[in-house]
Structure 1
């Protein structure tokens, strides 16, 4: 499953929305300055990397899919790219000062991800996990789009709470000073842009090709019915935690 997105590596970066620039300052302030090194787990094509390089720290990106990693390395030649699953990657002796993960925490082994993150960090090191929740400004659009998905594929794809990973990290009992920083933006998308976004979602990638096309046709017709624009209520949550010194 960690290599599911390699199929759409070429379009992933263009279709996915970026992250609020304020995340950089929030991490810097929490850490108490610029980390001596930052490791990003599940970096993909670098959608979050382009933000995290703004910290000014030397970076290592760990990405399991070679297709995504190839694009990542081409975009960020100054960043060290390691093609490996987080579960296979070995942190340097003594650990790293900061570890980040954007929209990939749920792909990591739920039984071991917190322990592995803890073990990868140096004492006093910072963990920064962040991700989006895609909602809609207009409740009528939300209802209509959900109905469009379900009319083609009635499988139940449950949405996690906005800050589910806060509970996951805090519940591990391993980290100190666990806090959430929420961000919220409105993002208008044309029908084509929304279809491109949907094409990068894991439930869509798991569908057979014929069903994927039917889903895109259904949601496209729905957005066209609203004048060809959907407005996302994009909710981004940053969770910060510290390995006790």
Structure 2
């Protein structure tokens, strides 16, 4: 997992949206209440906050010490381990749930499914959940897309179902399901610009490109009234330990 968010850890924690309670309810509906939880790439705890509602001991892996510091301060009862999933050595006793919020793409693509499956206890469940940032107003969507494309015409966008396809295609899981929730948060211009500053494509740009992006978004959002209504597409991919067809 590449550490790109540490320099904006506090901002990330402030402006990134959390997850609706429906995600937690879907996890329980699918696999019951877990005895123990391992969270991968926990960041500052957006997913952690949701998972704590399951009332089970939780270990959170977060390789960036700056993100981990925020996580510890917010959730002192959580065991925070500063390690990437690929470096982590599982203790005796395997978790009943492995969860990952907005970080599955940072795990090694060649090993993440097998590693997670091997780390789970018998009958364990994988839950990968994330937001896809869309826009309720297609005019706003086009205006914002035009600005960002002018700054970086090569930026890649993952498909809406890429996690489901990745988990299903690995061949190590059974009963793979995808569930979705839509919410429509409204962001003021300033808060939306702050949100933009927490996205990894933005953080990887040069300072000049970052300035161009923010100035372009500032003008575009002024053009449609000073706020942005997101269509936040939250997906949850669930799977059980064991190959398809296992009983």
TM-score, scaled to structure 1: 0.96
**8 Å contact kept, 1:95–1:119:** no
Aligned: 1:132 with 2:131: yes
Cα deviations by residue, 1:87-138 (Å, 9 ceiling, x for unpaired): 0011223521110000000011101111111111112101000101111111
Aligned: 1:193 with 2:191: yes
Alignment-derived partner of residue 235 in structure 1? 233
Alignment-derived partner of residue 93 in structure 1? 92
Q: How many residues of Structure 1 are paired with residues of Structure 2 in the alignment?
A: 243
* Secondary structure class of the residue paired with 2:35: coil
* Secondary structure class of the residue paired with 1:124: coil
Alignment-derived partner of residue 63 in structure 2? 64
Find runs of 4+ consecutive structure 1 residues off by over 3 angstroms. none
Shift of 1:208: 1.5
Q: Superposition pairs for residues 95-244 of structure 1, below 5 Å?
A: 95-151=94-150, 153-244=151-242
Tell me, in whole angstroms, the C-alpha distance in 2 between the residues paired with 1:43 and 1:3: 12
Instruction: Please give the root-mean-square deviation of Cα atoms over the aligned residues, in Å.
Output: 1.2
Tell me, in whole angstroms, the C-alpha distance in 2 between the residues paired with 1:170 and 1:110: 13
**Deviates further, 153-162 or 119-128:** 153-162
Tell me, in whole angstroms, the C-alpha distance in 1 between the residues paired with 2:231 and 2:197: 19
Q: Structure 1: where are the runs of 5+ without partners?
A: none
**8 Å contact kept, 1:185–1:235:** yes
Tell me, in whole angstroms, the C-alpha distance in 1 between the residues paired with 2:92 and 2:28: 23
Cα deviations by residue, 1:166-219 (Å, 9 ceiling, x for unpaired): 010010010010001101011111110110110000000001122212211111
Cα deviations by residue, 1:62-109 (Å, 9 ceiling, x for unpaired): 001000001101110000000000000112235211100000000111
* Secondary structure class of the residue paired with 2:179: strand
Shift of 1:150: 2.2
